[in-house]
Amino acid sequence: MPAAARPVPARDIAWAAAVLLIGAGLVAAGLGSNAQQSLLPQPQSPWWHLGPLAIACAAAAVATRHPLGALLVSSAMVLVDALLGTHVATLMAWTLSLYAIGRYGSAGQRGRALWLIGATAVLVTGWVLWRSGDAAVTTAAAVQFVLFIALPLWWSSEVRAGDEQVGAARARAEADRRLAELERVEAIREERGRVARDLHDTVSSHLSTIAIYTTGALDLPPSPDRDRGVLAEVRGAALAGLDDMRELIDVLRSHPAEEEADAAPERLESLFEELRSAGLEIRVEADAAARALLLGGPAEAADGGAVEAVDVGPADAADGWSAEAANGGLAEDGCAEDGLAEDGAAEDGAAVRRVAGRLLREALTNALKHGAGAAEIELRLDGSVLEIEVVNPIGDAGEAPAAGGGVGLGSMARRVREHGGSFRSGASASAPAEGGKALWCVRATLPLGAGDGGVGR
């Protein structure tokens, strides 16, 4: 706060009044004055000192609000009082203004005050020397002035330093508060993004299933039996979507430590069965460790359907995009890079199962919507890294998910990045599938925690 804007503190008035009363008492007792240096004829009345003393005390009463002005007035009164014989009470009032300029004055005011204080000290000391002609008396007067100047300036500088430290601490606290508020806003933004991705991941596949069933039913002639079967499938997809929505709502209501629910192996089997019934032929190849981690054991189609699971070792580079590169990752090809995350902290097995389940749901839903009715899944657990690859031929319309531009692909990429893995998606440069259709591939790697790396080994 600027000095001129500060209110006049009651303590300043109290200190000024106290000095005035003490000075009046000393004047009444005939103490504290050096009448031999006065210009007035002797014997001199001591009550003359009350005039400069009262004015100096009045200036000291407003020194907090006007430190430089108060010092200028009180310094002038010290010079006037020196002509009357320099009373100690006037010097006491002067020290109040010295303290105020040292504590409340700006840097420029303090610089000007030093010149004013020095000039006052030199003039008074010179006056004493001229009137007394005694070096000892002059030295005593100079020492007295140094003490009256040095003590209030030193004390005010110490208090000022404390005030500045308190101000700096308050500024840091305010900065920390603002930073915490920004972090809170950012956390809310990220949480909203996560909720949006969860809504997309949990609802879009079920809605796509419903849309495909209803579109097929509308394109065919009416058939009561077939239409009832379609309605049953639509009802199942709707109920599954409601279950996923309830699960998401439960997560939002739960404690943060409970947010990441474990994706149970049965969920993947249910996903495969749901999409197979919608018309997507799915083939799963998984090594023993990956199958134990994600599927809970060998996945067998209960009704001889299209879901298959076979143990595979390190893949041969037969098709050009399942071969491992020298760095242990997936082979490079024409697959567009949608996002490649920085190395991050490995997540535990439950979190990896959850992310893998979301990724497979989105990739297979895209295969159902944009593909030619078939998809191949390859799962490998290489040490502590789970490798996932989903490949499907692109449909006759040639419409494939936008590499890097689709909401679903972006959601998959963000989920994988958040768990310290890498993600790629795009049209494969490998040999086309049977029938000459182009292939679309989705690849991801997810690191496991040290305690999960041996799952199924």
CATH number reported for the structural domain that contains residue 323 in this entry: 3.30.565.10
pLDDT for res 107: 83
92-106, 113-127, 293-307, 321-335: which has the minimum mean pLDDT? Answer: 321-335
The pLDDT of 60-80, averaged and rounded, is: 89
The pLDDT of 170-185, averaged and rounded, is: 90
In a domain, 312, yes or no: yes
Q: Which of 90, 113, 133 is the last residue of a domain?
A: 133
In a domain, 366, yes or no: yes
| 207-211, 393-397, 452-456: range with highest mean pLDDT | 207-211
In a domain, 203, yes or no: no
In a domain, 164, yes or no: no
% of the chain beyond a pLDDT of 90: 7
In a domain, 165, yes or no: no
The torsion of the CA quartet 104, 109, 110, 112, rounded to 10 degrees, works out to: -160
Q: CA–CA separation, 218 vs 234, rounded Å?
A: 13
pTM of this structure: 0.41
Q: CA–CA separation, 268 vs 358, rounded Å?
A: 9
Q: How confident is the model at residue 126 (pLDDT cuts 50, 70, 90)?
A: confident
pLDDT for res 305: 36
**245 backbone φψ class: left, alpha, beta (φ>0; ψ -120 to 50):** alpha
Find the helix packing angle between 88-104 and 67-84, rounded to 10°: 160
Q: Is the peptide bond before 43 cis (omega within 30 degrees of 0)?
A: yes
Q: Are residues 125 and 270 in the same domain?
A: no
pLDDT for res 18: 92
Contact 436, 429 (CB under 8 A): no
In a domain, 102, yes or no: yes
pLDDT for res 333: 44
Q: CA–CA separation, 293 vs 297, rounded Å?
A: 8
- Looking at the structure of the chain, the number of domains it has is 2
For 144, the token pair is: 């007295």
Q: Are residues 283 and 431 in the same domain?
A: yes
Q: CA–CA separation, 333 vs 343, rounded Å?
A: 22
Quote the domain boundaries for residue 117. 3-133
Q: Which of 133, 161, 196 is the last residue of a domain?
A: 133
Q: How confident is the model at residue 11 (pLDDT cuts 50, 70, 90)?
A: confident
In a domain, 51, yes or no: yes
